[in-house]
Structure 1
Amino acid sequence: MSDVLLSAQGLRLAFGGVKAADGIDLDVRRGEFLAIIGPNGAGKTTFINMTTGYLRPQAGIITYEGQAITGMAPRRIVARGIARSFQLPQLFTEHTVLENVALAIAAREGPWSPLAPLLRPRWREEAVDLLERFGLTSIAGARADALNEGARKLADIAMAVALKPRLLLMDEPTSGVAANEKMEVVETLARVLRAAQVTAVFVEHDMDVVERFADRVAVWSQGRIAALGPPAEVLSDPQVQRDVIGIERHAAA
């Protein structure tokens, strides 16, 4: 079995004169936590959108477990074992946390009618177990629109994990989360995902989170990968410190 789970080769995509992807080459290794950093507009979310089928590259190829998925519909990509979470949590706000996770399980299982029971015993049991792993048992009965941002992020990612992916892409998992909750949220994510043997790629602006949780860091700049390697090596690079970390820390101040 190859060590490479997902491979992007020569990805190019432009919006008018803006090059969102300008020859992206990247291999994602099985079991790793890969952080993507870079200034706004560098093409980070575009890469996630191309990988998950929301955008089709104008050139290049994406393979997953050795099979091409370039331009494949998002639903088919999910069925292959790739899930994602969004910068803004995609929750059904009128439903409880438990019902949201059960809805994700129902989507994984196949066509489901709103007239059929949602919290059927098997789905309820699986949803309860997943919420326990994420530390969300105490708010299982709360409506999603009543949650704070940290709980909303965890619930959103719990829904993605309910799809049983082997690869999870997260777009800014700590965005909007209170500073004193960020590490706890990411510690929970890392513990659950590593226990489930889920490979993770995450866009992140908090360098403390990146340094603590990433196995490798990829630096995006103007649609290109400007640096790639272990956190200690990449984050100490003078150019990265000047062009990326300085921007992020200024924005957080």
Structure 2
Amino acid sequence: MSAILAVENLEKTFGSLVAARDINVSIPAEQTVGVIGANGAGKTTFINMITGHLTPTKGTIRFEDRDITGKPSREITRLGISRSFQVAQVFPTLTVFENMCIAAAIARCRGPFGVLTTPLRSPAAIAEAEATLELFQIGLYRHTPANTLPQGIRKLLDIGMAVVGWPRLLLLDEPTSGISIEEKFGLMSVVMTALKSRKITVLFVEHDMEIVEKFADRVLAFYDGTVIADGAPDKTLADPRVQELITGVKLRPKGATHA
């Protein structure tokens, strides 16, 4: 399977500080990849370089065989890469439907001044907003102001707004952050079902190893700015270095029973 994303010898320094180094990763289309690591391990730096929020010091990033290294984030978004942030990026006083319409309109605009001339409620934007509300199962909240939403629904709105433009690659920054234990698996199930239905390749940063184990096809483990393990969840999470430096725990294998 050909790679939708290929990263070679990626490095990012801030003066004498090395935030990322020697990163070599190839991601095939439609794969779901969990990205783990302690705070400061380089996960967010890695995501920010892919999405154009940071320019690599060295190395290359290729998306669908196109070199996107150092391109502006808006251009990268137009090429088909989208992201959500740990803190939901929504318009707090607008309703769920209005937020989605704005996201749909922005996704359709072209050129540096397109956002100024693109109708926010064109038939196409409304149709896509409606479809995405249903895809993420938040249609019941369509008239609710975003600042009054439960945290889980606000997260679904945020991720839906990132998906409304039909990206081929989506990067999620801690999608279950701030979500209760009772809600997190249900929320991720809605998200992953929606993304798989649109054949979107996913990289998601996550600190909850149970979420990673359940929803990732593959896990990248970061430590000290580089990838120390890369493979299937059971293999990566069982790696002694990952357990020592990142998780600090030994997860029970799937299917294991209590003694």
CA deviation profile, 1:75-115 (whole Å, cap 9, x unmatched): 1101110001111111011111111111111111112448x
Unaligned runs of 5+ in 2: 252-259
Q: Write out per-residue CA displacement over residues 18-61 of structure 1, whole angstroms, 9 at most, x where no aligned residue.
A: 21111111111111000000000001011110000000011001
Matching of residues 16-165 of structure 1 within 5 Å: 16-110=15-109, 111-113=114-116, 118-165=120-167
Per the normalisation by structure 1, the TM-score is 0.93
Partners in 2 of 1:151 and 1:63 — Cα distance? 33
Q: Which amino acid letter does the alignment assign opposite residue 104 of structure 1? A: A
SS at match of 1:92: coil
Which residue type is aligned with residue 27 of structure 1?
Answer: S
Task: Report the secondary structure of 2:248's partner residue.
Answer: helix
User: 1-side partners of 2:248 and 2:189: how far apart?
Assistant: 25
For 1:45 and 1:170, locate their aligned partners in 2 and report how far apart those are by CA, in whole Å: 10
SS at match of 2:76: helix
Contact 2:90 2:158 in 1 (8 A): yes
Match of 1:186 among 184, 188, 202: 188
Instruction: Say if 1:204 and 1:133 are closer, same or farther in 2 by CA, change over 3 A.
Output: same
The match for 2:199 among 197, 201, 204 is 197
Q: Quick one: which of 229, 232, 237 aligns to 2:231?
A: 229
| Aligned-partner Cα distance in 2 for 1:161–1:139 | 18
Q: Distance in 1 between matches of 2:243 and 2:39?
A: 15
Distance 2:239 2:120 in 1: 51
Q: Aligned equivalents of 1:76 and 1:40: distance in 2?
A: 29
Give the Å deviation of 1:17.
Answer: 3.1
Tell me the secondary structure at the aligned position of residue 39 of structure 1: coil
Deviation at 1:247, TM superposition (A): 7.7
Which residue is 1:166 aligned to? 168
User: Counterpart amino acid of 1:29?
Assistant: P
Give yes or no for contact 2:105–2:121 (8 Å, CA) kept in 1.
no
Q: How far apart are the structure 2 equivalents of 1:106 and 1:124?
A: 9
SS of 1:239's equivalent? helix
The offset of 1:149, in angstroms, is 1.4
Shift of 1:136: 0.2
Aligned length: 247
Q: Give 1:188's aligned amino acid.
A: V
The whole-number CA distance in structure 1 between the counterparts of 2:180 and 2:8 is: 37
- Contact in 2 for aligned 1:39/1:247 (Cα 8 Å): no
Work out which of the residue numbers 235, 240, 243 in structure 2 matches 1:241: 243
Q: Secondary structure at the match of 1:241?
A: helix
Letter in 2 for 1:186: M
Of the structure 1 ranges 120-129 and 155-164, higher mean CA displacement relative to structure 2 is found in 120-129
Contact 2:8/2:59 (<8 A) preserved? yes
Task: Note if contact 2:4-2:28 (Cα within 8 Å) is conserved in structure 1.
Answer: yes
> Taking structure 2 as the reference length, what is the TM-score of the superposition?
0.91
Q: What displacement does 1:248 show?
A: 11
Q: Given residue 25 of structure 1, which amino acid in structure 2 is its aligned partner?
A: N
Q: Which moved more, 1:10-19 or 1:130-139?
A: 10-19
RMSD in angstroms over aligned alpha carbons? 1.7
Letter in 2 for 1:4: A
Question: Structure 1 vs Structure 2: percent identity of aligned residues?
Answer: 42
